[in-house]
């Protein structure tokens, strides 16, 4: 079992990674529909992260501002793939799917494995939005 604050911090970091990706991707894709979708997803991930940060600080802990360490490598790899691709929008969509899988897995794990009922409730509450 994971502690409540540790699990919430993991969720915030994954959401921060995703939010940053969506913000950047929205400025790099050509299709207006994708720009709007990515912007909306960035706002949604930011709102969920903000709520979780509030829970963390309410417990007297410091909420993370950044993301996970591995995201820098994934981002660089994805940008190179997009630049070399004849269909860069498709590359960003593939990256989107990877980020969404990471988020869903993190929330699913939190809902099932946290030893804190409040964390399980929060993860369950936001599961429909992250899916």
> What would the mean pLDDT of 110-127 be, rounded to a whole number?
89
> What would the mean pLDDT of 39-54 be, rounded to a whole number?
93
Angstrom distance (rounded) from CA 88 to CA 35: 13
- Angstrom CA distances, 73 to 76, 83, 99, 126, stand at 5, 16, 13, 27
Find, among 78, 42, 59, 43, the residue nearest to 8 by Cα: 59
In this prediction, residue 111 carries a pLDDT of 92
Residue with tokens 């399980």: 120
- pLDDT tens column, 69-81: 555 545 555 565 5
Which pair of tokens denotes residue 7?
A: 């699990």
- H or E stretch covering 96: helix 88-113
- H or E stretch covering 28: helix 4-28
Which pair of tokens denotes residue 21?
A: 């990706």
pTM: 0.79
């Amino acid at each position: 079992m994971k502690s409540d604050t540790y699990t919430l911090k993991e969720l915030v970091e994954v959401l921060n990674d995703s939010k940053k990706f969506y913000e950047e991707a929205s400025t790099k894709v050509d299709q207006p529909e994708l720009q709007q979708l990515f912007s909306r997803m960035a706002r949604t991930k930011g709102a969920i992260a903000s709520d979780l940060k509030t829970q963390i600080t309410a417990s007297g802990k410091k909420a993370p501002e950044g993301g996970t360490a591995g995201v820098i490598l994934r981002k660089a790899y994805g940008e190179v793939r997009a630049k070399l691709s004849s269909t860069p929008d498709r590359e960003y969509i593939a990256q989107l799917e990877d980020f969404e899988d990471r988020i869903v897995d993190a929330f699913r794990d939190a809902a099932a494995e946290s030893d804190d009922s409040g964390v399980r409730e929060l993860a369950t509450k936001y599961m429909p939005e992250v899916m």
